[in-house]
Amino acid sequence: MITLLPVDPTVHGARIGQWMASAHVSKWWGDPDGRLDDLRATGSDNHAMIALDGKPIGYLRWEMVDPAALASVGLHAIPARSIDIDIFIGEPAEAGRGAGPAALELLFARLRETTDAPLAGLCTSVNNHRAHAAFKKARCTQLTEFDDPVFGPCLVFVRHLR
* Count of domains observed in the chain: 1
Q: Which helix (H) or strand (E) holds 67?
A: helix 67-72
What is the model's pTM? 0.94
Q: How confident is the model at residue 89 (pLDDT cuts 50, 70, 90)?
A: very high
Classify residue 92 by its DSSP letter.
G
Mean predicted lDDT score pLDDT of the chain? 94
pLDDT of residue 158: 98
Mean pLDDT calculated for residue range 35-57: 89
Q: Residue 128: which domain range? A: 2-160
Q: How confident is the model at residue 65 (pLDDT cuts 50, 70, 90)?
A: very high
> Could you tell me the CATH number of the domain that includes residue 42?
3.40.630.30
pLDDT of residue 5: 98
Mean pLDDT calculated for residue range 84-97: 96
Q: How many residues are given for the chain?
A: 162
Q: Is 80 exposed, middle or buried (0-12, 13-18, 19+ CB in 10 A)?
A: exposed
